[in-house]
């Protein structure tokens, strides 16, 4: 039986109202993130269908590891989000696994990726810095000219970017993005547009840790998604590495889906239809997220929709 999950909506000073387009009920004017699938302590997905209805994903992970193929990791390894950047996010960086293990009580580091769902004309992202050293970056921080040393990239709908741990990065205003990442919420901010004073929010900068982990003048990861037609459906292999694999399916009609791994995370980005799992029928609408478990042997998607499917 698939595990259907209740979305977790996060208020952010840079957020907006576009997540309402996915059918989510927004409780605030500045909703920046929907955590689609998460077992992280800072946002635990609640299962909405039997037999585990009302339980959190981390609880089911701990007590029913057989649903995930007895995956060896202590913690659920992935986290997926939809992000609405009404304003620019902070300029920040995430540590890798070894740094996080040593300095953040054994947590995962965070490598992540962005699939650009929509972007206004002129929207940009930042991945990395052109600066050569810690000393150069620190000098820009002290002079409050951080933005001058960043690598800016123009983006449009359908673009994809991988952000390895250690890459300073941000989304600028006007971007709606789907994120797949390691299950981590460790963020070291280096610049936040004076939001602490403007909004009276607790968003501390972590300058020293950020300077420790930033990869200076690192090349932009060169990842080119590959597309093929399977059963008359468009399948785009977006990225595959040690941390996660992400595949986009554009389904029109019937797709007999064979899971590539013991469990897969699925989010419907657009359209609607249904999934039939071992004979049971489940309606799918835009914004629905669920996990196909190791017990879900026969899955058939029917409808017209875009699916983002991730796994280890």
Work out the average pLDDT over 34-60.
Answer: 98
Q: 243 CB contacts (<8 Å, ≥6 apart)?
A: 111, 181, 182, 312
Is pLDDT at 196 greater than 80 in this prediction? no
Closest CA to 187 of 32, 294, 298: 32
CA separation for the pair 184, 182 (Å, rounded): 6
Q: Is 189 a catalytic residue?
A: yes
CA separation for the pair 296, 250 (Å, rounded): 21
Beta bridge partners of 80: 37, 180
196: its two tokens: 């602490």
| 15 backbone dihedrals φ, ψ, rounded to 5° | -80, 175
Work out the average pLDDT over 192-199.
Answer: 75
CA separation for the pair 181, 213 (Å, rounded): 18
Residue 142's pLDDT band (cuts 50, 70, 90): very high
CA separation for the pair 104, 212 (Å, rounded): 13
- List for the chain the helix, strand, coil content (%; round to 5): 15, 45, 40
Is pLDDT at 193 greater than 80 in this prediction? yes
CA separation for the pair 57, 228 (Å, rounded): 33
Angle, CA of 305, 272 and 260, to the nearest 5°: 50
3-state DSSP assignment of residue 219: coil
Residue 23's pLDDT band (cuts 50, 70, 90): very high
Is pLDDT at 107 greater than 70 in this prediction? yes
Fold observed for domain 3-213: Jelly Rolls (2.60.120)
Work out the average pLDDT over 226-241.
Answer: 96
Find out whether 112 is annotated in a ligand binding site. Answer: yes
Length of the chain (residues): 312
Beta bridge partners of 5: 47
Residue 122's pLDDT band (cuts 50, 70, 90): very high
CA separation for the pair 31, 35 (Å, rounded): 11
Q: What is the pLDDT of residue 198?
A: 67
User: Does 221 or 300 have the greater pLDDT score?
Assistant: 300
Which segments of 61-203 are extended strands (E)?
78-85, 91-93, 112-119, 124-129, 150-154, 160-163, 169-171, 175-182, 188-191
Work out the average pLDDT over 37-57.
Answer: 98
Beta bridge partners of 175: 85, 119
Is pLDDT at 200 greater than 80 in this prediction? no
Residue ranges of the domains in the chain? 3-213, 226-311
Work out the average pLDDT over 283-308.
Answer: 97
Is pLDDT at 201 greater than 80 in this prediction? no
Residue 85's pLDDT band (cuts 50, 70, 90): very high
3-state DSSP assignment of residue 209: helix
Terminal-residue alpha carbon distance, the chain:
20
CA separation for the pair 83, 10 (Å, rounded): 10
Find out whether 92 is annotated in a ligand binding site. Answer: no
226-311: CATH, from 2.60.120.40, 2.60.120.10, 2.40.10.10, 3.10.20.30: 2.60.120.10
Work out the average pLDDT over 238-255.
Answer: 97
| 303 backbone dihedrals φ, ψ, rounded to 5° | 145, -160
Is pLDDT at 311 greater than 90 in this prediction? yes
Check: CB of residue 183 under 8 Å from CB of residue 97: no
Residue 41 CB coordination number (10 Å): 11
Check: CB of residue 31 under 8 Å from CB of residue 15: yes
Domain 3-213 shares a fold with domain 226-311:
yes
The pLDDT mean for the chain works out to 95
Is pLDDT at 181 greater than 80 in this prediction? yes
Q: What is the pLDDT of residue 222?
A: 79
| 254 backbone dihedrals φ, ψ, rounded to 5° | -120, 130
Find out whether 28 is annotated in a ligand binding site. Answer: no
Work out the average pLDDT over 77-94.
Answer: 97
Work out the average pLDDT over 150-172.
Answer: 96
The residue annotated as part of the active site, out of 65, 189, 203, 261, is 189
pLDDT above 90 as % of the chain? 92
Work out the average pLDDT over 12-21.
Answer: 97
Q: What is the pLDDT of residue 50?
A: 96
């Amino acid at each position: 039986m698939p595990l259907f999950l209740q979305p977790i909506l996060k208020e952010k000073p840079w957020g907006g109202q576009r997540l309402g387009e996915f059918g989510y009920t927004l409780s605030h004017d500045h909703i920046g993130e929907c955590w689609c699938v998460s077992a992280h302590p800072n946002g635990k997905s609640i299962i909405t269908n039997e037999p585990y209805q009302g339980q959190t994903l981390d609880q089911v992970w701990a007590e029913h590891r057989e649903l995930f193929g007895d995956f060896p990791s202590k913690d659920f390894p992935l986290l997926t989000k939809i992000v609405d950047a009404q304003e620019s996010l902070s300029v920040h960086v995430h540590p890798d696994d070894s740094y996080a293990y040593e300095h953040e009580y054994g947590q995962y580091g965070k490598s992540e990726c962005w699939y650009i769902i929509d972007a206004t004309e002129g929207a940009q992202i930042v991945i990395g810095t052109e600066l050569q050293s810690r000393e150069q970056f620190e000098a820009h921080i002290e002079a409050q000219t951080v933005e001058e040393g960043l690598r800016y990239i123009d983006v449009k709908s359908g673009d994809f970017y991988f952000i390895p741990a250690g890459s300073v990065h941000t989304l600028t205003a006007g971007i709606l993005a789907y994120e797949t990442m390691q299950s981590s919420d460790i963020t070291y901010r280096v610049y936040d547009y004076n939001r602490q004073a403007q909004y009276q929010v607790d968003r501390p900068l972590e300058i020293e840790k950020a300077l420790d982990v930033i990869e200076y003048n690192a090349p932009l990861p060169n990842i080119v998604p590959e597309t093929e037609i399977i059963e008359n459906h468009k399948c785009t292999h977006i990225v595959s590495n040690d941390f996660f694999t992400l595949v986009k399916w554009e389904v029109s009609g019937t797709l007999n889906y064979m899971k590539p791994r013991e469990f897969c995370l699925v989010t419907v980005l657009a359209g609607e239809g249904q999934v039939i799992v071992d004979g049971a029928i489940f309606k799918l609408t835009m914004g629905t997220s669920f996990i196909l478990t190791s017990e879900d042997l026969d899955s058939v998607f029917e409808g017209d929709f875009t699916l983002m499917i991730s796994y280890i």
